[in-house]
Chain A
Amino acid sequence: MTEVLLEARGICKSFPGVKALDNVSFNLRKGEVHALLGENGAGKSTLMKILAGVQSPDSGSLFYKGTKVHFTTALEAQRAGISIIFQELNLVPHLSIAQNIFIGKEPRTRWGTVDEKKMNDSAEVLLARLNLKISTKIAVKDLSISTQQMVEIAKALSHDSDVVIMDEPTSALTESEITELFDVIHSLRDRGVGIIYISHRLEELRHIVDRISIFRDGQFISTDDYQAITMDEIVNRMVGRQLTNKFPHRKNVPTSEKLMEVTGLRQEGILHGISFDLRRGEILGIAGLMGAGRTELARAIFGADPIDSGSVVVNGQKLEIRSPRDAIRFGVAYLSEDRKNEGLAVRMEIGENISLASLSRVCGPLSVISREKEQLASRRYVEELNIRTPSLTQKVNNLSGGNQQKVVLAKWLFCEAKILIFDEPTRGIDVGAKYAIYELIEKLAIAGVGIIMISSELPEIMGMTDRVLVLHEGELTATLVTKNTNQEEILSFAAGVERAQNNSLSKENP
């Protein structure tokens, strides 16, 4: 068990303006699952890419099975037996499972054509090793995300990989799919494969991990046996300071005035009659596992997707939601977790993005835009939200994640939204910027805005919300007062283990 498969010594890597890795060392043993932990920007992904030959280090050396190696391409690393499975799967949707597994290395007949039979047979053997009984001729696009992931793993195995690197493999999977994935990881480990496992979900580590390496700001912090380290220690080392600093000291006081009431919201097969209310000055969390319907709920309220039944009342007025336009008119705003695809017109300037939802406010007569008014508004928000940019006319795709999030927020503030729905507001945002976003959210609540915050990170829910709705497979399983609950309780409601009677009205009143 102690044989070292892959070792990195003194790796440094810089990108323009950033030191991504600073003298980092790391080793992976045969037959272990080794977790790489760290916040966004800690350098995990860069290290992973260097190990897999996707990027070359500026200095430092790699040793694989005892010899010094220097991979210049991912293909070289792959041939040597190091495979990487990226978070975004790299499969060709219209090709079959077998075709995907053997893409680029199709077995040939002696005529030079692809040996379909041999390919399908080999693919079947590989899938069998993963306990997957499915025809290898099915097109990948018709598979569930988890099965697609299995195909990726099969692809990695087809290289006879001794090292498999997985980047957040569970981020798109449901509970039961995760269990399946873990079974596969176990069997790979038992076969002597070394697995590097990157995840943000600390709670799942106990199921599979042998050792843990922690990174922070491009520096290597520590490597420990999983048994020898506590969760608190892990978190503290990742963050580099006590958790108490992670969230602002909360000063907002929820009123009893109901800003929004949602009743019996239903979307066939997705949301099953969800009812709740949001009060002025409140931060209401929505917790739940992947696939629980959190984003769907937010989009339904916002009118982005059609609903089958149910009502949304804002400020005592029933909202006819047919499109986001209707919701916006009532002061409801939605900040998608997918900022680049759903939040920003990335090729447009900061100011143009800020005014996008309320262009009339910077228009003179005849719908003519006043650049002056627009610049004034964007200057105001760049100052107020501390958006870091070299100029006001910067295109937003040149901004960092945190600053992009602030631009989206500025758009809705300029629109004078009274209800803001944040969907994973800090996903992909580094620690410092996270804190700034939290502060802004809190400030908005103090100003009397009603805030709904969807989050997968329970500490964020615990640290930032007044009440929390817990969803499980499209149903509201609990409405909890945050200060009277804890992460374990939220999790058990989220997993559907527990179900609050009558939405625990007793617990609801602060």
Chain B
Amino acid sequence: MSNPAVTPTPLAEMMKKQHRGKLSLEKFITLAALFALLIIFSVTAKNFFTVRNVLTMALQTSTITLMGIGVTFVIITGGIDLSIGSVVALTGTCAVLVANTGVPSWLAMLIGVFVGALCGYGNGLLVTKLRLPPFIATLGTMMIFRGLVLTITNANSASAPDDFGHLANDNLFKVLHHNSDGSTSVVFPGISSIVLIMIVLALLFAFILKMTKTGRYTYAIGSNEEASRLSGIHVSRVKVYNYIFCGFLAGVVGILLASRMVTSQPNGGIGYELNAIAASVIGGTSLMGGVGTVGGTVIGSFIIGVLGTGLTMQGANYFAQQIVIGSVLIVAVAVDQLRNRPRRAKGNR
């Protein structure tokens, strides 16, 4: 049917449209919501908008952000990864145990991250080779990985060598001022390397998703898996890559948390996967697949992070925070649903 409403426009005009703002409406809405929260808390909570507090918030949010980015990749293909919370515990514990055998801490950390990627690879194989529904496959591995780490450690946490803690406890770009009386005062407390790692990885994975073949195929598979296969895309391979990304990032989080605590945490990371999924969904990722961005997930995770910190500073307890964050999740998706509701009776002649 040739729809008269769709008229061909001169190409010059078409090209012009390309370069118009790339920021989509939904991302704008979530970004606006984030700023609104920042403003509200700055006004209502004392000490909220201080350099120190903002940096602390960034630090606390970074772990959700990293895991959210990983799970975003998987969700875009139409999958899900519930195992990443367990992966956090497993990788951190592995790294600490390896470091305690005398292996240099940096190498132990790399091994930990590698274990994370390996966990993701396992998930990928279950989903592509055994054709298990991702929810079931990763629900299973969530239990398996958790069971593994508890078995290995007998549920005891172990402390790590001192230098294991440097990565996550050192601040960069710290600015000190030497006072005339010989003492020093802190001008800028420095940015935690956790935040810097988060920024670097967020940029890297945004690049992968937007600019590389793997990223493009990720969207294509989520948009239409069969059409992708019939276009010659190696669907299984791309899916496995995505689970590896997800496991890798969970591994990074595991290492960072272990380093921050300078101990292994066999019981750590419980429920993190749900926060990560929430961050991704608030950021505009669709569980139906095909839709989502790294930028959106970063915003989504910061909405959760800012809410958490802001509410704490206003004296709201953890339980009340859960209610608020849960409501935000529902509202975010409801708004999206209302906006995308197909107009009734489209006239399918």
A interface residues (Cβ-Cβ under 8 A, vs B) = 15-18, 20, 40-46, 55, 302, 304, 323-325, 327-329, 334, 336, 341-348, 352, 356-357, 359-360, 363, 366-369, 375, 379, 382-383, 386, 388-393, 398-402, 411, 430, 432-433
Interface flag for B131 (CB, 8 Å): no
Interface flag for B120 (CB, 8 Å): no
- Whether A389 pairs with B6 at a CB distance below 8 angstroms is yes
- Whether B2 pairs with A324 at a CB distance below 8 angstroms is no
- Whether B1 pairs with A356 at a CB distance below 8 angstroms is no
User: Could you give 22 example pairs across A and B, Cβ below 8 Å?
Assistant: A15-B345, A16-B5, A18-B347, A45-B349, A323-B229, A324-B232, A345-B220, A345-B223, A345-B228, A346-B224, A347-B224, A347-B291, A352-B216, A356-B227, A359-B216, A366-B212, A369-B213, A382-B14, A391-B9, A399-B6, A430-B2, A433-B2
Cβ contacts under 8 Å, B291 to chain A:
347
- Whether B226 pairs with A369 at a CB distance below 8 angstroms is no
Given A356-B233, A360-B213, the answer on whether A348 and B220 have CB atoms closer than 8 Å is yes
Cβ contacts under 8 Å, A334 to chain B:
230
- Whether B232 pairs with A325 at a CB distance below 8 angstroms is yes
- Whether B213 pairs with A388 at a CB distance below 8 angstroms is no
From B3, B15, B231, give the contact of A356 (CB < 8 A): B231
From A15, A347, A369, A375, give the contact of B223 (CB < 8 A): A347
Q: Give Cα A278–Cα B227 distance, bound, in whole angstroms.
A: 25
- Whether B232 pairs with A18 at a CB distance below 8 angstroms is no
Chain A proximity of B158: nearest CB distance (Å): 40
Cβ contacts under 8 Å, B11 to chain A:
379, 382-383
- Whether B232 pairs with A46 at a CB distance below 8 angstroms is no
Q: Shortest 9 CB-CB distances between A and B: which pairs? A: A15-B347, A345-B223, A17-B5, A328-B232, A357-B231, A325-B232, A347-B223, A367-B213, A391-B17
Cβ contacts under 8 Å, B8 to chain A:
386, 388-389
Q: Give Cα A386–Cα B224 distance, bound, in whole angstroms.
A: 25
A327-B232, A348-B219, A390-B14 given; name 20 further pairs at CB < 8 Å. Answer: A15-B346, A18-B3, A18-B4, A20-B347, A20-B349, A323-B232, A325-B232, A325-B233, A341-B224, A345-B223, A348-B223, A356-B227, A359-B213, A369-B211, A369-B216, A375-B18, A393-B18, A399-B6, A400-B2, A411-B231
Given A347-B290, A347-B291, A379-B14, the answer on whether A400 and B227 have CB atoms closer than 8 Å is no
Chain B proximity of A85: nearest CB distance (Å): 17
Interface size of B by CB at 8 A reads 40
Q: Tell me the number of A-to-B contacts counted with CB atoms below 8 Å.
A: 143
Q: Give Cα A274–Cα B244 distance, bound, in whole angstroms.
A: 43
Chain B proximity of A322: nearest CB distance (Å): 12
Chain B proximity of A310: nearest CB distance (Å): 20
Given A357-B231, A390-B6, the answer on whether A18 and B14 have CB atoms closer than 8 Å is no
Given A20-B349, A347-B223, A348-B219, the answer on whether A367 and B231 have CB atoms closer than 8 Å is no
Interface flag for B214 (CB, 8 Å): yes
Q: Give Cα A323–Cα B233 distance, bound, in whole angstroms.
A: 10
Chain B proximity of A353: nearest CB distance (Å): 9
Among the interface residues A20, A360, A368, which one has the most CB atoms of the partner chain B within 10 A? A368
From B6, B14, B214, B345, give the contact of A367 (CB < 8 A): B214
Cβ contacts under 8 Å, B228 to chain A:
345, 356
- Whether B347 pairs with A400 at a CB distance below 8 angstroms is no
Residue of A nearest to B348 (CB): A45
Q: Give Cα A43–Cα B213 distance, bound, in whole angstroms.
A: 43
Cβ contacts under 8 Å, A392 to chain B:
14-15, 17-18
Q: Give Cα A392–Cα B16 distance, bound, in whole angstroms.
A: 10
- Whether B229 pairs with A324 at a CB distance below 8 angstroms is yes
B interface residues (Cβ-Cβ under 8 A, vs A) = 1-9, 11, 14-15, 17-18, 211-214, 216-217, 219-220, 223-224, 226-234, 290-291, 345-349
Chain B proximity of A429: nearest CB distance (Å): 8
Chain A proximity of B334: nearest CB distance (Å): 20
Chain A proximity of B117: nearest CB distance (Å): 19
Cβ contacts under 8 Å, B345 to chain A:
15, 55
Cβ contacts under 8 Å, A433 to chain B:
2
Chain A proximity of B51: nearest CB distance (Å): 37
Residue of B nearest to A352 (CB): B216
Q: Give Cα A375–Cα B9 distance, bound, in whole angstroms.
A: 16
Cβ contacts under 8 Å, A401 to chain B:
1
Chain B proximity of A11: nearest CB distance (Å): 14
Q: Give Cα A379–Cα B12 distance, bound, in whole angstroms.
A: 10
Q: Give Cα A336–Cα B228 distance, bound, in whole angstroms.
A: 12
Among the interface residues B9, B213, B227, B347, which one has the most CB atoms of the partner chain A within 10 A? B227
Q: Give Cα A434–Cα B11 distance, bound, in whole angstroms.
A: 24
Q: Give Cα A46–Cα B2 distance, bound, in whole angstroms.
A: 16
Q: Give Cα A302–Cα B2 distance, bound, in whole angstroms.
A: 31
Residue of A nearest to B17 (CB): A391
Residue of A nearest to B290 (CB): A347
- Whether A388 pairs with B7 at a CB distance below 8 angstroms is yes
Q: Give Cα A348–Cα B18 distance, bound, in whole angstroms.
A: 15
Residue of B nearest to A379 (CB): B11
Q: Give Cα A341–Cα B7 distance, bound, in whole angstroms.
A: 26
Cβ contacts under 8 Å, B17 to chain A:
391-393
Given A345-B220, A352-B216, A359-B213, the answer on whether A388 and B227 have CB atoms closer than 8 Å is no
- Whether A390 pairs with B7 at a CB distance below 8 angstroms is yes
- Whether B2 pairs with A368 at a CB distance below 8 angstroms is no
Given A15-B346, A400-B1, the answer on whether A343 and B213 have CB atoms closer than 8 Å is no
Residue of A nearest to B219 (CB): A348
Q: Give Cα A360–Cα B231 distance, bound, in whole angstroms.
A: 13
- Whether B346 pairs with A336 at a CB distance below 8 angstroms is no
Among the interface residues B2, B7, B212, B230, which one has the most CB atoms of the partner chain A within 10 A? B230
From A46, A341, A399, give the contact of B347 (CB < 8 A): A46
Residue of B nearest to A47 (CB): B349
- Whether A324 pairs with B230 at a CB distance below 8 angstroms is yes
- Whether B231 pairs with A391 at a CB distance below 8 angstroms is no
Given A17-B5, A390-B9, the answer on whether A345 and B224 have CB atoms closer than 8 Å is yes
From B3, B216, B230, give the contact of A17 (CB < 8 A): B3
Q: Give Cα A55–Cα B347 distance, bound, in whole angstroms.
A: 9
Cβ contacts under 8 Å, A368 to chain B:
211-212
Q: Give Cα A399–Cα B214 distance, bound, in whole angstroms.
A: 26
